[in-house]
């Protein structure tokens, strides 16, 4: 039996992880659940999975959650940063599924590593912000970080059984998002509901917007650099609209290995949760015989400059990736709240990056400070609508 703490249990990754727990009750049990504000869904998860620890964002939501929970409830209800740390380090937990959205996932994930927990990582911002620090701590603790992102899971699977020194390139695939075929002139009319309508994947709002701008792929480039210990020069992004090939790796002899599957996150989540075993998920394989073909194209960096900004941050390193991530979080939320248009998201990010005083070899406090600074600076750009 593997005992889990799921950070971000009400998001798309968390909900799918709990579906796997339901499918394999003899393999998994839930000891801790953490969410931000969806207390209605969290309450139903508590009733179903009976965790010992439950965490929400603030005290107000903790009190609201207690009021709507059916009695009796034996779970300890906590809130805030201290609560997330407790959920990540709880003694009875074997594995932490880190599925919180955004920079908020960094500190709990580091706490889980320091506590010696297995990590199933969906929170890419953990490695974007502090990749060197996180990977070094994991190595010191003998912790293997198992990727949940479908792309990084695919790369992880394609690297198994092969020598690292034979690796030539990582080929990250991207669906291209909902605006791949739109002209740049049409971007001025894009509304949040348009950007949330992803053609192949079902995701939360923040990741859906990141997919629409290709920032999601940019964050994945930075994550891949640290997760697989490669240079950004060894990572290539390919737009693959069918979303059947989740990613590929090439080797120095010209061989290319790809991992394929239907666009469903349960496969990657289950592989991390049960590693090195594979669970019988009863999922179909792609219908290859009925496909018209699998196509690829280079990303259009003029239409989607966020990907170029991410490569820039990846190459520069230091505190710049944390600034990129924080500015993007602010800009995306502003777009979702209809405070800025879609086309201003890249402007907010780039102008914030341009004003940053880089710390080349940061410690954790430098990274946290850069994150905070970038949020304030990006908000200024939002208020001036990117000007």
Render pLDDT for 352-379 as a digit per residue (tens, 0 to 9): 999 999 999 999 999 999 999 999 999 9
Please tell me the predicted confidence (pLDDT) of residue 386: 44
- 139 and 154 part of one domain: no
Render pLDDT for 132-173 as a digit per residue (tens, 0 to 9): 999 999 999 999 999 999 999 999 999 999 999 999 999 999
- Alpha-carbon distance 11 to 34, whole Å? 10
CATH number of the domain within which 334 lies: 1.10.1740.10
pLDDT tops 80 at residue 198: no
Q: Identify which has the larger pLDDT, 129 or 72.
A: 129
Lowest pLDDT segment from 27-31, 182-186, 212-216, 382-386: 382-386
Is residue 272 included in any domain, yes or no? no
Please tell me the predicted confidence (pLDDT) of residue 324: 98
- Domain end, chosen from 243, 277, 303, is at 303
Is residue 18 included in any domain, yes or no? yes
Only one residue has tokens 């080929």, namely 171
Lowest pLDDT segment from 117-126, 203-212, 316-325, 332-341: 203-212
- Alpha-carbon distance 338 to 195, whole Å? 12
CB 144 within 8 A of CB 169: no
Helix 205-213 and helix 320-336: axis angle, to 10°?
110
Render pLDDT for 311-359 as a digit per residue (tens, 0 to 9): 999 999 999 999 999 999 999 999 999 999 999 999 999 999 999 999 9
Please tell me the predicted confidence (pLDDT) of residue 74: 86
- 130 and 182 part of one domain: no
- 129 and 253 part of one domain: no
Q: Which pLDDT band holds residue 384 (cuts at 50, 70, 90)?
A: confident
Render pLDDT for 18-72 as a digit per residue (tens, 0 to 9): 999 999 999 999 999 999 989 999 999 999 999 999 999 999 998 999 988 877 7
- 221 and 326 part of one domain: no
Residue 105 is classified by DSSP as G
Q: What is the mean pLDDT of the chain?
A: 94
Is residue 329 included in any domain, yes or no? yes
- 143 and 162 part of one domain: no
Q: Which pLDDT band holds residue 385 (cuts at 50, 70, 90)?
A: low
Is residue 269 included in any domain, yes or no? no
- Total domains in the chain come to 3
- Domain end, chosen from 112, 147, 182, is at 147
Please tell me the predicted confidence (pLDDT) of residue 37: 87
Is residue 277 included in any domain, yes or no? no
Is residue 79 included in any domain, yes or no? yes
CB 320 within 8 A of CB 356: yes
- Alpha-carbon distance 171 to 167, whole Å? 11
- 185 and 226 part of one domain: yes
Calculated CA dihedral for residues 350, 352, 354, 355, nearest 10 degrees: 170
Within a 13 Å sphere around the CA of 264, how many CA atoms are in the beta-carbon half?
16
Percentage, residues of the chain above pLDDT 70: 98
- 161 and 143 part of one domain: no
- 118 and 135 part of one domain: yes
Is residue 270 included in any domain, yes or no? no
- 127 and 12 part of one domain: yes
Please tell me the predicted confidence (pLDDT) of residue 202: 65
Percentage, residues of the chain above pLDDT 90: 90
Please tell me the predicted confidence (pLDDT) of residue 214: 96
- 177 and 130 part of one domain: no
Domain, as residue range, for 36 = 2-147
Q: Output the DSSP codes for 289-305.
A: GG------B---TTT-H
- 136 and 169 part of one domain: no
- 143 and 124 part of one domain: yes
Is residue 310 included in any domain, yes or no? no
- Alpha-carbon distance 190 to 199, whole Å? 15
Beta bridge partners of 78: 55
Other Cβ atoms less than 10 A from the Cβ of 40: the count is 11
CB 35 within 8 A of CB 8: yes
Mean pLDDT of 250-266: 96
CB 344 within 8 A of CB 387: no
- Three-state SS at 308: helix
pLDDT tops 80 at residue 203: no
- Alpha-carbon distance 11 to 18, whole Å? 11
- Domain end, chosen from 303, 335, 353, is at 303
Residue 378 is classified by DSSP as H
| Cα 23 off chain centre by | 24
Lowest pLDDT segment from 46-60, 199-213, 256-270: 199-213
Please tell me the predicted confidence (pLDDT) of residue 162: 96
């Amino acid at each position: 039996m593997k005992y889990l703490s799921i950070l971000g249990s009400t998001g798309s990754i968390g909900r799918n992880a709990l579906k796997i727990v339901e499918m394999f009750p003899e393999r998994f049990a839930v000891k801790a659940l953490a969410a931000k504000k969806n207390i209605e869904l969290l309450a139903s998860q508590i009733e179903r999975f009976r965790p010992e620890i439950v965490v929400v964002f603030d005290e107000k939501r903790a009190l609201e959650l207690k009021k709507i929970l059916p009695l009796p409830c034996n779970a300890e209800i906590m809130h805030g940063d201290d609560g997330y740390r407790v959920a990540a380090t709880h003694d009875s937990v074997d594995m932490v599924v880190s599925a919180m959205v955004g920079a908020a996932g960094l500190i709990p994930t580091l706490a889980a590593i320091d506590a010696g927990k297995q990590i199933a990582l969906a929170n890419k911002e953990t490695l974007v912000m502090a990749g060197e620090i996180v990977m070094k701590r994991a190595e010191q603790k003998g912790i293997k970080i198992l990727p949940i992102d479908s792309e990084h899971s695919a790369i992880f699977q394609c690297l198994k059984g092969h020598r690292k020194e034979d690796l030539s390139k990582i080929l990250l695939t991207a669906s291209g998002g909902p605006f791949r075929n739109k002209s740049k002139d049409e971007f001025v009319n894009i509304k949040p509901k348009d950007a949330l309508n992803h053609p192949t994947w079902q995701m939360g709002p923040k990741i859906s917007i990141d997919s629409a701008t290709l920032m999601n792929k940019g964050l994945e480039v930075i994550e891949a650099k640290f997760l697989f210990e490669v240079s950004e020069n060894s990572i290539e992004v390919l737009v693959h609209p069918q979303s059947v090939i989740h990613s590929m790796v090439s080797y120095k002899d010209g061989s290319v290995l790809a991992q394929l599957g239907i666009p469903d996150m349960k496969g990657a989540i289950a592989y991390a949760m049960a590693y090195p075993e594979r669970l019988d998920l009863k999922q179909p394989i792609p219908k290859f015989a009925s496909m018209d073909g699998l196509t690829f194209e280079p990303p259009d960096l003029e239409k989607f400059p966020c990907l170029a900004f991410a490569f820039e941050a990846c190459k520069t390193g230091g505190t710049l990736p944390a600034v990129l991530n924080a500015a993007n979080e602010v800009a995306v939320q502003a777009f979702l709240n209809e405070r800025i248009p879609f086309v201003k998201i890249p402007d907010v990010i780039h102008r914030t990056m341009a004003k940053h005083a880089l710390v080349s070899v940061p410690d954790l406090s430098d990274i946290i400070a850069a994150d905070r600074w970038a949020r304030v600076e990006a908000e200024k750009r939002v208020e001036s609508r990117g000007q």
